[in-house]
């Protein structure tokens, strides 16, 4: 015996509405609940970071995103492209003694 069931838009919408009413009652669907703990941040990525040390990572992607959220830089760059101090107290220059005469040694005051 063959079935003469034809799927049309009306049948599809009825099925979607029925599943929208049934799923919450079954417990398979749980809405997001407001978290009372505001001391924790959950950050989801598409893959696990390889490591968290910003000095060692060679690839971009997830590692770069996590590193930017965990670590801070010595300097930032403003909208005009100029370096501005962030963790460093000042930018090292030869004039303030932060860069040696040969340019091989930098002294950074935090």
pLDDT in tens, 41-59: 777 777 777 776 767 766 6
Q: Which two tokens stand for residue 70?
A: 């965990």
Return the DSSP state at 80. Answer: T
Q: Where are the domains of the chain?
A: 37-71, 75-110
Residues of the chain falling short of pLDDT 70: 1-7, 21-37, 52, 54, 57-64
Question: 80-104 burial, b if ≥16 CB within 10 A, otherwise e?
Answer: eeeeeeeebeeebeeeeebbeeeee
**pTM recorded for the entire structure:** 0.45
Taking a C-beta distance cutoff of 8 angstroms, is the pair 108, 74 a contact? yes
């Amino acid at each position: 015996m063959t079935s003469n069931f034809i799927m049309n838009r009306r049948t599809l919408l009825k099925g979607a509405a029925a599943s929208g009413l049934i799923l919450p009652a079954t417990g398979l669907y749980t809405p997001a609940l407001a978290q009372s703990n505001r001391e924790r941040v959950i950050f989801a990525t598409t893959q696990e970071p390889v490591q968290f040390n910003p000095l060692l990572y060679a690839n971009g992607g997830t590692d770069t995103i996590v590193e930017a959220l965990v670590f801070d830089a010595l300097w930032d760059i403003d909208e005009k492209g100029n370096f501005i101090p962030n963790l460093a107290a000042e930018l090292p220059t030869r004039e303030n003694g932060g860069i040696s005469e040969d340019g091989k040694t930098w002294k950074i005051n935090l």
